[in-house]
Amino acid sequence: MKNYLNKVTNREDLSLEEMENAARLMFTEDITDTEIGAFLTALKVKTESADEIAGLVNVIREKSLTLPKQLTGVMDNCGTGGDGSQSFNVSTTSAFVIAGAGITVAKHGNRSISSKTGSADVLEHLGVSLSLTSEQTHELLKENGIAFLFAPHVHPALKRMMKVRKDLKIPTIFNLIGPLTNPVELTTQLLGIYRRDMLEQMANVLHRLGRKRALILNGAGHMDEASLAGENHLVLLERGELMQFTLHPEEVGLPVYGNEAIKGGDSKENADILHRVLKGEKGAYRDTVLLNAGLGIFADGKANTVQEGVKLAQESIDSGAALSKLEYLIDYSKQEV
């Protein structure tokens, strides 16, 4: 580890292989928490490269619970968090809408870290189990087209890292990689990130991780979700090529709302918002979900344009398909208790 630490301290990027070796060392008892903390801090000061991010993700996925590999064409729409917006659970609600449009979604998430309520908090309140086996998760993905993967359950090796991160009290590479560590082999992805300066870099990371197509976004007000408040910044990854563009909600027939209109609350309140949106309630919450789900459907390639994606998202909600995906997940969880 000393060699890797010296290199990073000298502001030299590690290769993908070097980062994988350093990451494997971090998960052994051979190095101390202090060494891990120093390494994470040095990476942050230098600024993490695409190879370094991908290398760490590869090792975390090596150590995660493995799922059967027969599934193909699976996507995720998880964001990094960290935008400080205190919004309701946009990506969690959108995941059911995307699934209702016929796309298989392996929704990876956690409890609240920087927001009031994480995806796990909301889904647990609704009655969704956070501790299903890999076989049960696989069954849900096949039969229901959506399953929830609770990060601490599928990544038990990360427990030690949580202690180091808490002790450091600063954002590190781990604040960027949550949505990248899904143990399911994803084909496509919608990735929201709170750092606009890293859109291209995260697109390159997703390319290294094997995504055929992905959309990386930073919303108006620097949200890690698409926002109705104004211009959203995006990068489309398709077959290794990157295309940058911006998107205003009015371009896809949606109204403008300030970000304060989509504030959330505790798990009970956010679960209620999620349920109301899936039941068809109109307003800022629904329109925000339509934009984000529409982008997810476009990211997967099921829609040729974002506007077409928004239309499919509307149909998913209004037909009851999105709500039925949630209800199936809740019913399945009850049977497995």
108 marked among binding-site residues: yes
82 marked among binding-site residues: yes
Scan for tokens 């408040």, then name that residue: 229
94 marked among binding-site residues: no
319 marked among binding-site residues: no
85 marked among binding-site residues: no
134 marked among binding-site residues: no
C-alpha distance from residue 198 to each of 187, 193, 194, 239 (Å): 21, 8, 9, 19
The H or E element containing residue 136 is helix 134-143
Upper half-sphere CA count for residue 26 (Cβ side, 13 Å): 31
79 marked among binding-site residues: yes
60 marked among binding-site residues: no
111 marked among binding-site residues: yes
59 marked among binding-site residues: no
267 marked among binding-site residues: no
192 marked among binding-site residues: no
175 marked among binding-site residues: no
337 marked among binding-site residues: no
Contact yes or no for 268/125 (Cβ under 8 A):
yes
30 marked among binding-site residues: no
Contact yes or no for 175/80 (Cβ under 8 A):
yes
119 marked among binding-site residues: yes
225 marked among binding-site residues: yes
163 marked among binding-site residues: no
146 marked among binding-site residues: no
**DSSP codes, 92-131:** HHHHHHHHHTT-EEEEEE-S-SSSSS-HHHHHHHHT--S-
How far is the C-alpha of 156 from the C-alpha of 275, rounded, in Å?
30
Token pair, residue 259, equals: 């970000």
- Binding-site positions for 5-phospho-alpha-D-ribose 1-diphosphate read 79, 82-83, 87, 89-92, 107-115, 119
- Binding-site positions for anthranilate read 79, 110, 165
- Binding-site positions for Mg(2+) read 91, 224-225
- Binding-site positions read 79, 82-83, 87, 89-92, 107-115, 119, 165, 224-225
